[in-house]
Structure 1
Amino acid sequence: MLAAQGAAGVAAFAGCMGDDDGEDILGDTTPESVLGDVDYNEDYEDEFNVIYPSADLNPVDDDYIFNPYHSQWNAGDLGQEFGFEYLAVFHTERGEYIPRVAEEWSIDEEGLRTEVTLSDEYAWSTGEPITAHDFVTAYKLDGYMGLGMEDFVDIEEGVYAEDDYTIVIEPRDEYRDMEEELWIEEWAEMILQVSDEQYGHFVEEFEEAETDEEIESVQESILNYDLSWDEVMYSGPWIFVEANEEFADQIPNPEHPIAQEWDFFQRIGVYVDEEGVQSGEVDWGDDSPDLDDVPDMYGEGPLPYDGQSFAIIFGTEDEYIRDYPEVRQAIAYAVDVPFLTETTATEGTDYDEYSTGVDSLYVEDYVESDVLEAMENYGPEDTDRAAELLEDVGFEQEDGEWLTPDGETWTLNFPVGDWFDIHSEMISNNLAEFGIDMDFYVEEMPTWQAETEDNLDYDLTVQLNYGMARDYHPYADFDDVFNNNTMGLFTERTGMIDEEVEVPEVGNPDGDTVTIDIEEELDEMSTADSEEDLIDHATTLAWVHNQTLPALVCYPWGGGHYWVNTEDWDFDLESDDWLTSNRITHYLLENGLEPV
C-alpha cells in the first residue's frame, strides 16, 4: 500500500523527526559494522599508489550518513560518484545508455514490458553477489518513498525479480503506450545504493502496512536509518576503509569486477577544495574551470553536460511571494542575472533568457520558437519594472525602503548553503540595493539541506537541479518543476498555485486569459505519440512557468569539471569517457589510471 502523501510527506518527516523517534521505530534493525566482512588488502598504504582528491567529504563522526533517504546523505562524490554502481549510465555526447551492472534489456513494443538481464560478475563489498533482488528493493523503496517511479509502475506488482539475474518492470495499464525514451528514463539509471540484505525488511514492512499511519511509520524508520561509512555495503568501485579526524581512505572495492584490478587509493580531506588545486597538492579536483593561478601540472577533461540549472527558488512563508506572481517577477527583475552569470558560471555560459523550467541549453528542442520569443525575459536588471510590479500589488517605497501593503518593512529570509555563498551574496546585494530588507545568511550545506530546504524555511533561496533531464525528454523537467517536494508549484507542502491556472493565452502575453490544467498537460505529455504533441504540451507548460515564475532559472550549470594532474598520472584528456552522468568514475572504469 502506497502512502498518499508521497514525497511531500516524506520530506516533511525528514525535517521534523528526531533521533530518539528513529531509534524507537528501528528497534533491532540498527546496523553494525560490516568492514570486517570485506576481504580487502590491509597493506594498501604500502602497496598502492595514493591519489589526493580535492573533495572535503570525510565521513568521520557521521558527518555523512550512507542512506540515500537520509538528510545527511551526500549524493555527490561519496555516493553517486564513487561508492555505488549503476544499472546503466547515460553518455551525454552520444545520447545513449552504457550498461554497467546491466548486460542488456529488451522492451516489448506493444506494452513496454521490460526485462533487464544483469551481469553475474558484480558483488557487494562484503562478497554477496549483486542480484535482481537488490535492484527490485531499490526500485520499490523509491516508489514507496514517493520519488516518482510509482507514477508509472505499480510498485507492489509491476517490478519484480524473474530470477536472480533478471528484473521485470511493467508500466501501469494507462502508461503502456508512453514514449519509449521516457519509459527508459524512469529506470535505466538506477544507482544501487541499497542492498536487499540491509533494506529488504523495509519493503516487507511496506507490503504489510494497511493504513496511512502504518506506512508513515515505515517511511519514518527509513528516514532515520543511520548507516555509517563502515556499516554500509558498497556496490561501486570504491569503499571506505578508514575515517579519522585527519583523513579518510577509499580503496578499490575488492568485489568490483573492474576496480579490483586497480592499485591506487584515495586519501580524502588532506588537501581540499580550490586551495588544493591552486597549491598543486591534489591529483584531481572537482572545481570551477575559472580558478586563478592553477599550476601547469593540471589539465582539463571534457565537460559532461548534465542538465542542471542554477535557480533562485521562491518559498511560501512570505504571503506576497506566495500569492502574487508579480512579486516574484519583481524580485527577478531586481537581480542582474547576466552579471551573476558572467561572474559565477563557467566561461562562455549564457544566462537563461526564458525561465521555462527546461534547461536553456535544450529548451529550443521542446518549446516552439515563436512562444520562446514571446516570453518575458527576467534576466537583465530592470529596477523600474520591478518597482512598477510591486506598486501594482500595493507596496510603497519610503526613504529607499520597500514597505508591504500593510505599511511594514518588507524583510526577506534568504538562507543559503555554502556551495553558493558568492552567488547568493551578489543576489542579496542586488535586492538590498533595490530597497528590500534582506536577512541573508550562509549555512553549511548539510545543515541547510536538513534544516532549511527540507523544512521550507525560507522566503527565497538558491539551488541546483532545477531542470532534471539531460537530453531525453522534457517530462522529467516539468514533473520536477510542478511536483518536486522542495520547489514544486503545487505540491502539498509548497503549493503556490492551483493545478488549474489562469495565464495569458500561450505565446501572447497581451492576449485573453486561458485556463491551463497542469496535471492534464503532464499526463498527456507522458503519453504523447508524436513529436508535434510532445512539443505542444511542453510549450504550454513552459509558458505557465514563465508567467507564474515559481523560480527564476538563472543559467545552466556545467557538471563534473575536473582539474587533473597530468604531470604525474596518465589521464587521457581526449577521451569521451568523461562525458557521462557518472563523470570521472566512468572514465576510470573505462581507462584505469597509471603513473606517468
Structure 2
Amino acid sequence: MSTSDRSERRSSQRQLTDSDDRQRNPPRSQLSKANKYQRYVSRRQMLAASGAAGVAALAGCMNDNEDEDLLDETDLDPVLEDVDYNENYEEEFEVVYPSPELNPVDDDYIFNPYHPRWNPGDLGQEFGFEYLTIYHTERSEYLPRIADDWSIDDDTLRTEVSLSEEYAWSTGEDITAHDFVTAYKLDGYMGLGMQDFVDIEEGIYAEDDYTLVIEPREEYSDMEEELWMTEWAETNLTVSEAQYGHFVEDFEEATTEDETQRVQESLINYEVSWDEVMYSGPWVFVEANEQFADQVPNPEHPIAQDWEFFQRTGMYVDEEGIQSGEVDWGDDTPEIRDVPDKYGTGPLPYDGQSFAIIFGNNDEYIRDHPEVRKAITYAVDVPYLTESTATDGTEYDEYSAGIDSLYVEDYVDADALDAMPNYAPQDTDRAAELLESVGFERSNGTWQTPEGDTWTLNFSVGNWFESHSEVISNNLQEFGIDVDHYVEEMPTWQATTRADLDFDLTVHLNYGQARNYHPYSDFDGIFNDTNLGLFTERTGIVEEDVEVPEVGNPDGDTVTFNIPAELEAMSTADSEEELVSHATNLAWVHNQLLPAAVCFPWGGGHYWVNTEDWNFDLESDDWLTSNRLTHYLLENGLERV
C-alpha cells in the first residue's frame, strides 16, 4: 500500500474530530511501576493467597460462575425494605426483556467490585451504579453525571470536583464525596487505581460533603492535564462509605505487608448480595428467583425515578433471545445471524481497545526473535479476520503500533506511521523468508525448528474469542505451522492459562485495557499490565533498553530507547509536540519488535434494539459514550411506539 493510499485511507476511517484539547478517557488505568508505593502488596502475592478465584476477580471481567467459594460471612443485612420503590411495578410499569441470562439468585453474582463474581460488563451490575462522569467518544469530552463541575489548578493539578446534591443511594442516603473517597482509596490499596500518581492516604479527601479533592504527588504536578483526567474522571460508584468504609480504616491501620495483604484478601472475599447492596445508579434489583430477576427504576436517582418501565432479566439467553424476537435489547454481539427485521442498531462508540494476537515467552524462538513474531503475523490474513469477526465497517489495523488505530494518528508522527511495515495483509512468502532467516526449514509442508524438530505452537484462548482464534489457527496450519489450538471457558483461561502464561500465542483485547483513549494508558498496559505486561509478566520479549532502526526508516541506523524513560516523559509531557515525540518513539518500537500483532479496533456497546415496539432513536449520538445503553436511556427514556 502506497503512502498516499495509506493517508487517504486513514482520513476516511477517522472517527474523532480534530481538537488540540480533546480529552480521552480510560476509567482507571493500570499504572507504571516506576514509583510504586511500597506499602502495597504485589498483585502476585495477593492472588497467591486468594487462589484462582482471586485471579479472576482482579482480571476485570468474568462472564461465568466459579464453583470455588472463598467467601467470608458478612455483617450486612438486606436493605431492600429501605428502598421506596413502586411495589406494584408489574401492574403499573411496562416490562422490557434484555438478552443476557443475568440472575443474581443464590449469589451467582456478587455486588462487590473486587469479588470473583463481580462483572462490570453485565447489564445488571453496571446498570445499578452511577458514574462521576462518562466519556463521549464522538465529542471527545466528559459528560457530568454525579459530578456537577470540576476545576483543575494549572500549576499543581489540584482538582476540586463539585458533586450534585440530587443523587442518593437506593436506600435514601445522600451520595457524598466521602463515598468517592472510599472508592478511590480502595482501588489504590488494591493496586488498581491511581496510587502511582496520588498519595492514597493524603491526596484524596472530602473538603465537605459535596466537594471531592484530588491532589497528585508533587513530582506529577506537571503531568499532562488530559492524562490526569483519565485517572479519576470516569469512576463508577460501586461502593459506599457505609458498606466499605471499614476496609479503608483497616488499610490505614495496617503497618506491615502481611497486614495489608490480609485486608486485601478480606475485601476480595467480601460477599454483598443483590438485596444487601446500596445502588447508586438507575436500576435496583428487587426480585430474584429461579426463573427471573427484576430491576426497577431507582426511586432516588434524579432521572430514573421518572421511568415507567422495568427490566426482567434471566428469561432469555443471548443470541437465542434475539433470533426468536423475544427480547427488547440484545447484548453487544454483532456476529449474530438471522436477526429479525424488528431489530436495529444505533451508532457504535469505540471502546479504546484493540483485538490483538499476543505472544508468550515460553517458546525461545518467539521470545528471542522479532522475525519469528513477524512471520507468524504475516501468515495470518488479518483483513479477512477483521471482515469475518469484527463489527461491520471495522477497518483492520495496518500499523500494529500499540495504540488503538482509531486515534493513533492523533499521537504518532505521520511520517513514522507511513514508514511502518504493515503486517496485516497475508504474505506467506515474506513469512517464509523471515523464518528461514532464523534457521527454520519447511519439510513436507511443515515447519521445523533449527534443531530439526516439528515446531508446535501452544495456542490457548478464552471462549470469548473462539471464532477469531479458529481463523488464526487455520491460517497458521495452512502455512505449515503445527498448532495446538484449544479453547477454554474464559474464567478458567484467566485463572490458569493466563495466570501461568501457559501459551505461545493467545488473543485478547489490547492487554486487557478497556475504555482507554490516551497513548500513555495504552503503552503502560503493554509494558506494565499485571496480567500480560512485557516487563511484569511476559519478560524477555522486550527489554527496558531496546535497539531498533531509527524512527521513520526501517533500513536506517540502529538507535536505542529506554522504555521506562519514554513512559515517564510521556506522562509529564507539557506540550503536544513533546507528547507526540515520545508516543511516536514507543509506537515505532512496538511496530519494529512486535510483541503483539494488533489486528483491529474493538467496537464497544453494540446493541440490537427492538424498534418495532419501542421508540429507540437510532440516529442519536447519545449511543456514543463509554456508558453505552445506560446513557442513551438516561438521555431519552423509553416509550412504546
Q: Does TM-score exceed 0.5, indicating one fold?
A: yes
Aligned residues: 593
Cross-structure match for 1:378:
423
Q: Aligned partners of 1:114 and 1:138: how far apart in 2?
A: 17
Greater displacement, 180-189 / 243-252: 243-252
Pair 1:479–1:567, CA change in 2 (3 A)? same
Q: Give the secondary structure class of the aligned counterpart of 2:160.
A: strand
Q: Aligned partners of 2:585 and 2:193: how far apart in 1?
A: 22
Give yes or no for the alignment of 1:255 onto 2:300: yes
Q: Give the secondary structure class of the aligned counterpart of 1:524.
A: helix
Pair 1:17–1:262, CA change in 2 (3 A)? closer
CA positional deviation for 1:169: 0.2
Pair 1:417–1:206, CA change in 2 (3 A)? same
Cross-structure match for 2:551:
506
Q: Give the secondary structure class of the aligned counterpart of 1:140.
A: helix
Alignment partner for residue 575 of structure 1, among 599, 613, 620?
620
Give yes or no for the alignment of 1:453 onto 2:502: no
Q: Aligned partners of 1:11 and 1:496: how far apart in 2?
A: 24
Cross-structure match for 2:567:
522
Q: Aligned partners of 1:509 and 1:237: how far apart in 2?
A: 53
Q: Give the secondary structure class of the aligned counterpart of 1:313.
A: strand
Alignment partner for residue 238 of structure 1, among 259, 283, 287?
283
Q: Aligned partners of 2:373 and 2:277: how far apart in 1?
A: 43
Cross-structure match for 1:330:
375
Cross-structure match for 1:38:
83
Q: Aligned partners of 1:34 and 1:526: how far apart in 2?
A: 43
CA positional deviation for 1:592: 1.1
On the 8 A contact 2:379/2:428 being kept in 1, the answer is yes
Cross-structure match for 2:221:
176
Q: Aligned partners of 1:280 and 1:453: how far apart in 2?
A: 37
Percent identity, please: 74
Following superposition of structure 1 onto structure 2, how do residues 51-450 of structure 1 map, counting pairs within 5 Å? 51-78=96-123, 81-289=126-334, 291-450=336-495
Following superposition of structure 1 onto structure 2, how do residues 492-503 of structure 1 map, counting pairs within 5 Å? 492=537, 496-503=541-548
CA positional deviation for 1:40: 2.9
Cross-structure match for 2:600:
555
Q: Aligned partners of 1:22 and 1:494: how far apart in 2?
A: 31
On the 8 A contact 2:370/2:594 being kept in 1, the answer is yes
On the 8 A contact 1:469/1:477 being kept in 2, the answer is no
Q: Aligned partners of 2:167 and 2:91: how far apart in 1?
A: 27
Q: Give the secondary structure class of the aligned counterpart of 2:299.
A: coil
CA positional deviation for 1:359: 0.8
Cross-structure match for 1:483:
528
On the 8 A contact 1:54/1:282 being kept in 2, the answer is yes
Greater displacement, 258-267 / 186-195: 258-267
Q: Aligned partners of 2:576 and 2:197: how far apart in 1?
A: 21
CA displacement, residues 346-373 of structure 1 (integer Å, 9 cap, x when unaligned): 2222110111111111111111111112
Pair 1:230–1:176, CA change in 2 (3 A)? same
Greater displacement, 244-253 / 387-396: 387-396
CA positional deviation for 1:12: 5.7
Pair 1:71–1:17, CA change in 2 (3 A)? closer
Structure 2: any 5+ residue segments left out of the alignment?
1-36, 55-66
Greater displacement, 141-150 / 12-21: 12-21
Q: Aligned partners of 2:340 and 2:429: how far apart in 1?
A: 45
On the 8 A contact 2:446/2:480 being kept in 1, the answer is yes
CA positional deviation for 1:586: 0.6
Q: Aligned partners of 1:15 and 1:482: how far apart in 2?
A: 25
Structure 1: any 5+ residue segments left out of the alignment?
none
CA positional deviation for 1:20: 9.0
CA displacement, residues 137-161 of structure 1 (integer Å, 9 cap, x when unaligned): 1111111222241121111111111
Pair 1:469–1:31, CA change in 2 (3 A)? closer
CA displacement, residues 112-167 of structure 1 (integer Å, 9 cap, x when unaligned): 11111111222222332211111111111111222241121111111111112111
Q: Aligned partners of 1:426 and 1:149: how far apart in 2?
A: 38
Q: Give the secondary structure class of the aligned counterpart of 1:117.
A: strand
CA positional deviation for 1:105: 1.0
Pair 1:11–1:459, CA change in 2 (3 A)? farther
Pair 1:80–1:381, CA change in 2 (3 A)? farther
CA positional deviation for 1:88: 0.4
Pair 1:348–1:130, CA change in 2 (3 A)? same
Counterpart amino acid of residue 501 in structure 1: V
On the 8 A contact 2:353/2:516 being kept in 1, the answer is no
Q: Give the secondary structure class of the aligned counterpart of 2:351.
A: coil
Q: Give the secondary structure class of the aligned counterpart of 2:350.
A: coil
Counterpart amino acid of residue 319 in structure 2: E
CA positional deviation for 1:573: 2.1
Q: Aligned partners of 2:204 and 2:276: how far apart in 1?
A: 28
Pair 1:227–1:354, CA change in 2 (3 A)? same
Greater displacement, 465-474 / 411-420: 465-474
Please, what TM-score do these two structures have when normalized by structure 1?
A: 0.93
Pair 1:467–1:475, CA change in 2 (3 A)? farther
On the 8 A contact 1:3/1:216 being kept in 2, the answer is no
CA positional deviation for 1:417: 2.4
Q: Aligned partners of 1:411 and 1:74: how far apart in 2?
A: 35
Q: Give the secondary structure class of the aligned counterpart of 1:151.
A: coil
CA displacement, residues 288-343 of structure 1 (integer Å, 9 cap, x when unaligned): 44544332322221212222211112223334333332322222122110110111
On the 8 A contact 1:53/1:266 being kept in 2, the answer is yes
Pair 1:522–1:576, CA change in 2 (3 A)? same
Q: Give the secondary structure class of the aligned counterpart of 2:198.
A: coil
CA positional deviation for 1:474: 1.9
Q: Aligned partners of 2:422 and 2:367: how far apart in 1?
A: 21
Q: Aligned partners of 1:389 and 1:85: how far apart in 2?
A: 51
Q: Give the secondary structure class of the aligned counterpart of 1:40.
A: coil
Q: Aligned partners of 2:498 and 2:102: how far apart in 1?
A: 20
Pair 1:244–1:117, CA change in 2 (3 A)? same
